[in-house]
Structure 1
Amino acid sequence: MACIHMLCFPILLTFVFIFHPTYCEVKKFPLMMPNVYPDRDELYLCTPVRVVNDKSFYIVGFEPNATMNVAHHMLLFGCKTPGTTDEYWDCGEMAISESDSSTLKKARPCTDGSHVLYAWARNAKTLELPEDVGFQVGKGTEIQYIVLQIHYSKKFPDKVTDNSGLFLMYTEEPQSKLAGVLLLGVGGIIPPRTVTYMETACAIEEDKMIYPFAYRTHTHSLGRVVSGYSISRDRRGQDHWRLLGKRDPLTAQMFYPVFDRAPIIKGDRLAARCTMDSRERNRPTQVGPTNNDEMCNFYLMYYVENDTPLEMKYCTTEGPPYYHWSNDNLNSIPDREASSLD
């Protein structure tokens, strides 16, 4: 099995056997940074692994091998084509590079077929998927590469390198429920000395039934509450909001069980709000990748039964001051609930 500039998945070394609730054989694959040296602040690095093209694999869990004092956050992407096949590269596509003389190639995590599979921050713990649920990769799927992205917020001391990453728990046993992730995100600008709502909402337009089972929130320092909802509308035009998850985003940013596991169908909408507190900040804050910027993300992990996951992977809006739930034909908005941890 030949690969260029990268390892192949599955690797033939360092297998660790565990048991998934279905009692199928589960192996661990180490996907780690190859002893990289972050040579400046706010650096995003990516490293890829090629999935063998003659088999399907099912990822059933994620075990972080990182700490928040080293890695600000990690994202795991499934790609049809990676940004490059280099061993690792600069993948901070939104950041302003301070090292144009760097020898690292600059590219996005994926150039084609980008899927978010997993996200980690703030010392989140291991995630094991429910029984019979897995992310299908390899043969028969668009995911031919898996790319690990790590955000290093601080330059490393000289001669200090890093091999943070993840152990992927996987099996070759087909799973009857295929997992997917929807990322609800918001752009925009947070004015100084305010409490601002950053909101997004999108309709499910595909004729599929999805079953939510986990959620994750992510902001930087201004986030106070992040909440996510599914919305169904009755024949009278009344919206019914079901709370999927709500959390202080400054706690461990792991995937938590959803509050409501009712299926979501075509015609329903998904919505998220981040409540941002900039009352102690005297400057505007824009959405961006650095610690001086902000982010508003709500990740929803779901599965489908005997079907394929949604083609829709992202639900984003321009955010404040351009977009708010109140100007998007939504009614019965749960304002207090969406911004309170009560």
Structure 2
Amino acid sequence: MEVRVSGVQVPSSETTYWCRVVRLPEMREQHHIIGYEPVISKGSEGLVHHLEVFLCVEDLSESVRDYDAPCNSETKPLGMTSCRKVIGAWAMGATGIFYPSEAGLPIGGRSGRSGTQYAVIELHYNNAAGKSGLVDSSGLRFYLTRRLRKFDVGIIELGLDYLPYSAVPPGEPRFELTGFCLPKCTNEGLPPDGIKIFASQLHTHTTGVRVKTIHHRPRHFVRVLNDDKHYSPHFQEIRLLPEPIRVLPGDALVTTCTFDTSKRRNVTLGGLTINNEMCLNYVFYYPKSQLELCKSIVSDNTLDRFFKKMNVLYGAETSRKKTIEENYQSIEWGRMEVAALKHMYRTGRIHQSCNSSSGVEISGHNWDNLKPIDYRNQEPETRDYRLHI
């Protein structure tokens, strides 16, 4: 089964996110996806930066089923909000993945309904040269079986929300940003016996040089889940772990990205464009839980206090009347300002995004102004084996 765009006339703008709704083959019985691989159109190897395929968990109205346009278009229908269950993700430099023999990702078999399901494919085009006339039909090829395996696979997105709340000052060769999946969220989102993570895909944009995810069980241990000390945004492979790692309710998953902005003259903000930055880790696991996304961002109150401090103590022209982007750009980034920013990210309160596959936050908690995890007083367990690529 292939899920692809079809003859997209790629805009000449540097960054485009393209969304297409695809009707999947009818499957009245449940199947398992056992793996997938990229299908990148000839000539698009440097154009497609990354892509994701989302399964729609609700029936789509007719007005939604034919959508095939930029993801941020004003014509994008609201009905696509139910299409947030990730069934495949790929980034530049990756090949594909085949799941362990005991697990597969469920698809089809919608009891009491038509066997028809829909998916949304989202592609990030990086047209750095601003070329016109480019046509693309890239996507993913999925491998399916009717022989259901013992466990259902799920994918959880870890790291930082891609918003301008995160900033990397210019001229910094090793600046760290950290995203948290807190015990509060895993307590709500994971089954009582936990999950087993068997693969990981790290992701940043162009200034990322290292990505690391730590598995922290409070008062017990800290261990490395995945750590690429020589990360390249041009080689974002999916890595199979040598053995699955069990994550229990109440555990934390902490993802830290290191960025090199030594060649940049302006502050780099979190966001969607290639010149913005991201800090992500897609983890593949079983058995499937309701948790689909567990990321964080610094809280509004923390950021407001930081901008006020920049104005009062350092004379920056920051103001509540300005946007977050304008405030960050108003700061002249010297040694003291960079140190203050690092301190804010290390100690400030955060907002936790703890979302289900329907795209909404798991209910029952206030996810704002939470305290980040500090695991640094515990020595990480080291690994003496290589991750399988």
- Per the TM superposition, whether the score is higher than 0.5 is yes
Partner of residue 213 from structure 1, selected from 195, 198, 208? 198
| Deviation digits for residues 53-86 of structure 1 (CA, Å, limit 9, x no counterpart) | 6321211111111153121111121222469312
Aligned-pair CA distance for 1:336: 9.8
| Deviation digits for residues 76-135 of structure 1 (CA, Å, limit 9, x no counterpart) | 2122246931251211x4xxx7xx8xxxx3358941151222221223112111113111
Whose helix proportion is higher, 1 or 2? 2
Does 2:212 match 1:227?
yes
Aligned-pair CA distance for 1:303: 1.1
Aligned-pair CA distance for 1:328: 2.0
Does 2:144 match 1:170?
yes
CA distance, structure 1, for counterparts of residue 281 and residue 45 of structure 2: 20
After superposition, residues 286-325 of structure 1 pair within 5 angstroms as 286-304=269-287, 309-319=288-298, 323-324=345-346
CA contact (8 A) 1:240 1:332 kept: no
Unpaired runs of 5+ residues, structure 2, are 299-340, 349-370
Q: Which residue of 2 aligns with 1:36?
A: 8
Q: Percent identity?
A: 25
Q: Which residue of 2 aligns with 1:271?
A: 254
Of 284-293 and 77-86, deviating more is 77-86
Instruction: Please say which structure displays the higher CA radius of gyration.
Output: 2
CA contact (8 A) 2:217 2:250 kept: yes
Aligned-pair CA distance for 1:335: 9.3
Change in 2 beyond 3 A, CA 1:274/1:254: same
Does 2:164 match 1:190?
no
> Secondary structure at 1:324's aligned position in 2?
helix
CA distance, structure 2, for counterparts of residue 108 and residue 150 of structure 1: 19
Q: Which residue of 2 aligns with 1:16?
A: none
CA distance, structure 2, for counterparts of residue 289 and residue 33 of structure 1: 20
- Structure 2-normalised TM-score? 0.67
Q: Which residue of 2 aligns with 1:331?
A: 375
Partner of residue 139 from structure 1, selected from 104, 109, 121? 109
Whose strand proportion is higher, 1 or 2? 1
CA distance, structure 1, for counterparts of residue 243 and residue 137 of structure 2: 37
**How many residues are matched?**
292
- Structure 1-normalised TM-score? 0.76
Unpaired runs of 5+ residues, structure 1, are 1-28
Of 179-188 and 65-74, deviating more is 65-74
CA distance, structure 1, for counterparts of residue 198 and residue 18 of structure 2: 30
Q: CA RMSD in A?
A: 3.0
Change in 2 beyond 3 A, CA 1:152/1:251: closer
CA contact (8 A) 2:225 2:245 kept: no
CA contact (8 A) 2:221 2:378 kept: no
Change in 2 beyond 3 A, CA 1:311/1:325: farther
Q: Which residue of 2 aligns with 1:241?
A: 222
Q: Which residue of 1 aligns with 2:264?
A: 281
Change in 2 beyond 3 A, CA 1:57/1:49: farther
CA distance, structure 1, for counterparts of residue 91 and residue 148 of structure 2: 30
CA distance, structure 2, for counterparts of residue 323 and residue 144 of structure 1: 42
CA contact (8 A) 2:39 2:141 kept: yes
Change in 2 beyond 3 A, CA 1:335/1:151: farther
